[in-house]
Amino acid sequence: MAILEEPIKEVLELKNYINGEWVESKSKEVWDVVNPATQKPLAKVPMSTNDEVIQAIEAAKEAFLEWRRTPPLARARCLFRLKELLENNFEYLSRIQTMEHGKTIDESRGETRRGIEMVEVATGIPSLMMGYNLEDIAVGIDEAVVYQPLGVFAHIAPFNFPFMVPLWYSPFALATGNTFIVKPSPRDPISQVKLAELIEEAGFPPGVYNVVHGGAEVASTLIEHPDIKGVTFVGTTAIGREVYKKCGETCKRAIVQGSAKNFLVVMPDTNVEATIPALMTSFFGNTGQRCLSGANLVIVGEDDGFYRNFLDAFLDATSKIRVGYGLDETIQMGPMQSVDGKERVMRYIEMGIKENAKLIIDGRKPTIVGDYPDTCFLNPTVFENVTPNMTIAREEIFGPVASVMRAKDLDQAIEMIHGNNFGNAASIFTTSGRAAREFQYRVQCGNIGINIGIVAPMAFFPFSGMKDSFFGVLHGQGRDAIRFFTESKVVIERWF
């Protein structure tokens, strides 16, 4: 089986998309976008100037006036066209993601599909945005609530799902009649540029959707500008906390999705054969670079035999994972997206050793399928005898590292989860309905999995999160997103 053809053949010079025009940035500061597997340059991305961000905000503000008056059905039709264009470009978009991010082609296609699902759900806006009313709240007086768009929203995108994450928000923002500015991650902004090209082709009016490239400065301008009505952010908790604070200071709505440390709890009655592949996907899928990744594997029970057998099965599967370039269909795990990311993971592995966790699979000297530089590559790493107070058990590593822990029973496993600051996701693997019910009822995490390795909510459900993993009230996706992007207005009427 051959390596799939690369869709990017030459180094791209990326432009901003402002007011329906592709505009070259005047900035002198340009970053290189590099394929993490091959280390070949893919694009040059500008760190846009403050003026360019302001231009985008003004264009979006101006476009809002007409766009909000565009009937929801007409707005939905733009989304229907976009959906069709996305389907037609499905493979192209997926391969770009593999090239710019490093993930495997199956993972990229999964990301594309999830992104399209957001657009599909948002096409239901004529129904989703309906208000409600009641006649005769007093004799002859009626009351109704309508949902209205607010204005310009901005999204600060992460690098780990460069195509999908902005789509958690933009289709809902656009469908509800708002206008939108996205700042893609400068590490992998290409799929966002391709998406904007399709949005343009789908017929969204100029200024309704804008793309401004850049880093922290662009993000700050967007977050602090008074004409931005709300911000959605996905990234680390440390930065997310600052974003949330700034949004509060400037009276903006915010959805801030931060870091995670997800526990996967395996009960002694689990179906081992079905559990192992789910764990592989959870711990090592996307090279561990996702907020829903498994991080701590808690094996429950005092039966040493079960513990040993389960761990052996886990280690056996882990050691067989094929690491290489994601466009090779045989590959199960790609490289880290950046050298920085790899170095961070290496530091955590060293910390784990220092804190006396037992390193049983060391991924630091990677075996790679194919002739690629090891610059960003790691193999999966597994630690045993990890305790909840160790740094590797507490902090987000954001890489392919599994920390194996033991709990004597479910209560102790839940205590471990609650001892952690984060609350993004947790899963239990069991055949016991009682244990599963107890788990979903008690565990303080936003996304609960029962025999599910990656608890990724579908587009019509909110992407939840608790504790230090989420700041805000409403979440992205689904009905929450509709409420986030609209203001409720109450009308009470009486006719004399």
Partner 1 sequence: MMINTCSMAISFAKELENDSANFYKELSQRFSKERDLFLSFVKENEKYVMQIERAYYGVITDAIEGCFAFNIDPKDYVIRTDLTEGESYFEALDRAIKIEEIISRFYSDAAEQSKSLMADVPRAFRLVAKKRANRQEKLKSLLEKEEG
Nearer to partner 1, 18 or 425 (CB): 425
Query: Does position 34 bind partner 1 by CB under 8 A?
Result: no
> What tokens does 378 get?
């790691």
Query: Does position 414 bind partner 1 by CB under 8 A?
Result: no
- In whole angstroms, the minimum distance from the beta carbon of 103 to partner 1 comes to 9
Query: Does position 285 bind partner 1 by CB under 8 A?
Result: yes
CA–CA gap between residue 466 and residue 260 (Å, rounded): 10
Exposed e or buried b for every residue in 80-117, given b needs 16+ CB within 10 A?
Answer: ebbbebbeebeeebbbbbbbbbbbbbbbbbbbbebbbb
Q: Sheet containing 12-13: which strands, arranged edge to edge? A: 12-13, 41-46, 30-34
In terms of Cβ atoms closer than 10 Å to its own Cβ (0-12, 13-18, 19+), residue 443 is buried
Query: Does position 406 bind partner 1 by CB under 8 A?
Result: no
Query: Does position 329 bind partner 1 by CB under 8 A?
Result: yes
Nearer to partner 1, 115 or 186 (CB): 115
Query: Does position 331 bind partner 1 by CB under 8 A?
Result: yes
Site for partner 1 in 93-132 (CB under 8 A): 104-107, 109-111, 113-114
Work out which of 137, 317, 359, 360 binds partner 1, going by CB under 8 A.
317
> How far lies 66's CA from each of 19, 63, 229, in Å?
13, 6, 17
Interface segment toward partner 1; rule CB under 8 A; list 124-132, 239-247, 330-338, 352-360 = 330-338
Nearer to partner 1, 30 or 317 (CB): 317
Site for partner 1 in 162-191 (CB under 8 A): 164
Nearer to partner 1, 113 or 418 (CB): 113
Nearer to partner 1, 38 or 275 (CB): 275
Interface segment toward partner 1; rule CB under 8 A; list 232-240, 274-282, 303-311, 350-358 = 274-282
- In whole angstroms, the minimum distance from the beta carbon of 377 to partner 1 comes to 16
Task: Return the closest-CA partner of residue 216 out of 376, 388, 66, 29.
Answer: 29
CA–CA gap between residue 16 and residue 46 (Å, rounded): 8
Residues 6+ apart with CB under 8 A from 147: 129, 130, 131, 176, 482, 483, 486, 487, 488, 489
Work out which of 280, 402, 435, 443 binds partner 1, going by CB under 8 A.
280
- In whole angstroms, the minimum distance from the beta carbon of 192 to partner 1 comes to 17
Work out which of 17, 67, 153, 161 binds partner 1, going by CB under 8 A.
161
Work out which of 203, 248, 277, 373 binds partner 1, going by CB under 8 A.
277
- In whole angstroms, the minimum distance from the beta carbon of 461 to partner 1 comes to 12
Residue 102 contacts residue 368 (beta carbons within 8 Å): no
Query: Does position 333 bind partner 1 by CB under 8 A?
Result: yes
- In whole angstroms, the minimum distance from the beta carbon of 107 to partner 1 comes to 6
Work out which of 1, 138, 139, 251 binds partner 1, going by CB under 8 A.
1
Interface segment toward partner 1; rule CB under 8 A; list 146-154, 285-293, 356-364, 395-403 = 285-293
Task: Return the closest-CA partner of residue 4 out of 115, 100, 99, 116.
Answer: 99
Beta-bridge partners for 490 = 145
CA–CA gap between residue 352 and residue 393 (Å, rounded): 9
Task: Return the closest-CA partner of residue 469 out of 263, 293, 234.
Answer: 234
Nearer to partner 1, 164 or 311 (CB): 164
- In whole angstroms, the minimum distance from the beta carbon of 451 to partner 1 comes to 9
Nearer to partner 1, 16 or 332 (CB): 332
Nearer to partner 1, 230 or 294 (CB): 294
Please tell me whether residue 75 adopts helix, strand or coil conformation. helix
Under rule CB under 8 A, how many of the chain's residues touch partner 1?
Answer: 35
Residues 6+ apart with CB under 8 A from 14: 33, 43, 44, 45, 46, 189, 190, 193, 213
Site for partner 1 in 439-458 (CB under 8 A): 452-456
Beta strands in 342-400 (DSSP E): 358-361, 381-384
Query: Does position 68 bind partner 1 by CB under 8 A?
Result: no
Work out which of 22, 90, 460, 461 binds partner 1, going by CB under 8 A.
90
Work out which of 25, 123, 289, 332 binds partner 1, going by CB under 8 A.
332
Beta strands in 251-292 (DSSP E): 253-257, 262-266
What residues are annotated to the active site? 291
Interface segment toward partner 1; rule CB under 8 A; list 44-52, 256-264, 280-288, 474-482 = 280-288
Amino acid, res. 134: L
Q: Which residue has the tokens 């540029």?
A: 193
348 backbone φψ class: left, alpha, beta (φ>0; ψ -120 to 50): alpha
On the CB side of 348, CA atoms within 13 Å amount to 27
- Binding residues (CB under 8 A) for partner 1: these are 1, 90, 104-107, 109-111, 113-114, 161, 164, 271, 274, 277-278, 280-281, 285-286, 290, 292, 317, 322, 329-333, 452-456
